[in-house]
Chains A and B, each alone.
Chain A
Amino acid sequence: MKVKVLVTPKATVLDPQGAAVRDAMQHLGMPEVNSVRIGKYLEIEVDDKTPNLDSRLNDLCRDLLSNPVIEDYEVVK
């Protein structure tokens, strides 16, 4: 099974990379772009016959794949 994890900076955390890309997009003819936030996208191949997969995956999303102080995550199957 392929699991997709999206990690995004929390709304309260400044994302200077996103701001730079927003500026570039505006500069390149899209002044209507209001904001860009840059996060991470992970594709994880996992054996889905293992027990407690969801909770174990969520634990690792919280502890390793994201830092809850600055990021949110979402698991998409």
Chain B
Amino acid sequence: MKFAVIQFPGSNCDQDCLAAVNGISGVSAEYVWHKTTSLDGFDAIVLPGGFSYGDYLRCGAIARFSPIMASVVEAARNGTLVIGTCNGFQVLCEIGLLPGALVRNRGLHFICDMVTMRVEVADSAFTHGCPQGSLLRLPIAHGEGCYVADEATLRELNERHQVILRYATPHGRIDPSANPNGSAENIAGICNREGNVFGLMPHPDRACEARLGSADGRKIFESMIETIGSSRVRAA
């Protein structure tokens, strides 16, 4: 099983993503430079965090036009699992694979912190290793992580169970005090309607070993691996 980690100029979590995936047995990850145009042979795609193209214009606005992105869109349409963390989430919104947008944090500060979030959908391709309502501790590090979408989009996200993670208190309550950046409805991560594209502001890639303060991020990558494994069984 092979994961692609896309590298844009300015990506800075590519090594974390590669190490996170390679730390799980039976899987390997490879870098794919953004000027490449093929993703043949990969079972999953990771868009890492960072500051692609210096965040010029808007976060992710220029990266979405990178040559590799046409293949990412095609793979996503064909059902390949795609995960975008932090800047990767911003790129997925900019290119329209996920609804909404990410804007400047409400408090204007760049926030670098370990936060708690609640798993809202336990049977998603990215979280089925986590019971519904379970809590994950993952680091965030962003200046533009405030998720916004119009009312109709938010309603649809809720109705279709596309909100996968919400920022929560350490006791699992969803309230404004647990919202680090002003995101609508404490949204930390969403998936597309088909459920195979997932974007989140927190960094599971930076929390895959206990010595990093949390190993909860591993559950997300392990869920992806299980999803891919079981779909292969179904296909066979």
Residues of A within 8 A of B (CB): 9, 12-14, 16-17, 20, 40, 64-65, 67, 69-70
Once bound together, how far apart are the Cα atoms of A46 and B149, in whole Å?
A: 34
Name the residue among B58, B94, B149, B182 with the largest chain A CB count within 10 angstroms: B58
| Interface pair B103/A13, CB less than 8 Å apart | yes
Residue count of chain B within 8 Å CB distance of chain A? 21
The 4 closest A-B pairs by CB, nearest first: A69-B101, A70-B101, A16-B108, A16-B106
| Contacts between chains A and B (CB distance < 8 A), count | 38
Known: A67-B101, A69-B101, A70-B148. A17 touches B108 (CB 8 A): yes
In the complex with contacts A67-B61, A67-B94, A69-B101, A13-B108 CB distance below 8 A: no
Q: Mark B88-109, 1 if CB is under 8 A from A, else 0.
A: 0000011000011101111110
Q: B101 and A65: CB pair below 8 A?
A: no
Contact A69/B100 with A64-B57, A64-B61, A64-B65 known, Cβ cut-off 8 Å: yes
Contact between B58 and A67, CB atoms less than 8 A apart: yes
CB of B150 within 8 A of chain A?
yes
